[in-house]
Amino acid sequence: MKKMIDERLKHEATHHPYPLLFATVSGAHLYGFPSPDSDFDLRGSHILPVREVIGLDEGRETIEVSAMRDRFFELDLVTHDIKKFFGLVLKKNGYVLEQLFSPLIVQAMPEHEELKAIAKSCITRHHSHHYFGFAATQWKLFDNENPHRIKPLLYVFRVLLTGIHLMQTGEIEANLLTLNEKFNLSYLPQLIERKLSGKEKSTLEDSDIGFYQKEYERLRTELESTHQKSHLPDEPHGKAELNDLLIRLRMNSI
C-alpha cells in the first residue's frame, strides 16, 4: 500500500541544493511509532556535480539540517553524496539499508530501484553486529533512565527484530508493527499504542522493567542464533555494480 508523504517533506527535497538520487523518511515514522510531537527524519543521497568532485572547490559530501520549520514541523535531514553513500552500503551499516529500502519515498530517480537491487547483494550475515550494537546502546539508555521511557525500549525491540528478520530472510523490514505480525510479541501493541497516543517522554512503571530485561536478553540470544545459522554471505558482492552506477550518475551530472 502506498503511504501518503507530507507535502512539507516534498518541499524540503525539492529545495535541496543538489539533485537527489533518493530521499526517504526514516526514524519513528518509518518504525511505526511516531508520537504526536516526533520530528521528521529525512534521509537520502545526493549527487555532487563533477566540478565539485575534481575541482579545488569541493562540494558538500554530507548535508545536515536540523530545524523547526514551524510550530508543528521539526525536521532532521541528512544526505550523503553518492560516493560516500555507496561506500556505506558496502559496510555493515544497517542504517543506510533501512534508509534505502524505506517504503516512505519522498523523491527518487529511476536509478533508485537499480541501487536497491544491487544493495541486496551487499547484505551479509555480519550486518547482525550493527543490530547487536544499537540494541545494547538503546538498552543502556533505557536502563539508566528514571523514569524509564517507552521510546528507547521500542527502539531496542525494533532493532533486534529487524536484525533477526534480516538474518532469516535477507530482507530489510524496519516497521515494528509489520515485524510483529511475524513475531507476535503480545506486549508490543500496547507499548506502541502508548507511544502513539502520548508524547516523546511516555514512561513505564519500575515493576515492568524485569520482564522487559528478560525479553531483551531472550531476543539478543535469538539474534545470535540466527546469525550463526544464517545463509547470508560473509562478504558483500555488489562493489563492481555500485562502481558502474556511481560513474554513470556522476557523468550524467556534467
Top-confidence residue, 134 or 202? 134
Q: Is the pLDDT of residue 191 over 90?
A: yes
Q: Is the pLDDT of residue 233 over 80?
A: yes
Q: Is the pLDDT of residue 200 over 70?
A: no
Q: Is the pLDDT of residue 2 over 60?
A: no
User: Which pLDDT score is estimated for 1?
Assistant: 40
pLDDT tens across 93-107, in order? 999 999 999 999 999
pLDDT tens across 24-43, in order? 999 999 999 998 888 999 99
Question: Mean pLDDT, to the nearest integer, of 75-82?
Answer: 97
One DSSP character per residue, 127-142 reads GHHHHHHHHHHHHHHH
User: Which pLDDT score is estimated for 178?
Assistant: 97
End-to-end CA distance of the chain: 37
Question: Mean pLDDT, to the nearest integer, of 108-113?
Answer: 98
Q: CA 95, CA 22: separation in Å to the nearest integer?
A: 15
Q: CA 201, CA 152: separation in Å to the nearest integer?
A: 10
φ and ψ of 109, to 5 deg: -85, 165
One DSSP character per residue, 193-233 reads HHHHHS-TT-EE-GGGHHHHHHHHHHHHHHHHHHHHH--S-
Residue pointed to by grid coordinates 520530528 = 39
Amino acid (1-letter code) at residue 41: D
CB proximity list for 198: less than 8 A, separation 6 or greater: 35, 150
SS3 64: strand
Q: Is the pLDDT of residue 202 over 60?
A: yes
Q: Is the pLDDT of residue 8 over 80?
A: yes
Q: Is the pLDDT of residue 142 over 80?
A: yes
Q: How many CB atoms lie within 10 A of CB 235?
A: 10
Please provide the average confidence, as pLDDT, over all residues in the chain: 94
Between β-strands 203-204 and 40-46, what pairing exists: parallel, antiparallel or unpaired?
unpaired
Q: Is the pLDDT of residue 230 over 90?
A: yes
- In this prediction the pTM is 0.93
CB-based contact 29:12 (threshold 8 Å)? no
Q: CA 191, CA 188: separation in Å to the nearest integer?
A: 5
User: Which pLDDT score is estimated for 201?
Assistant: 57
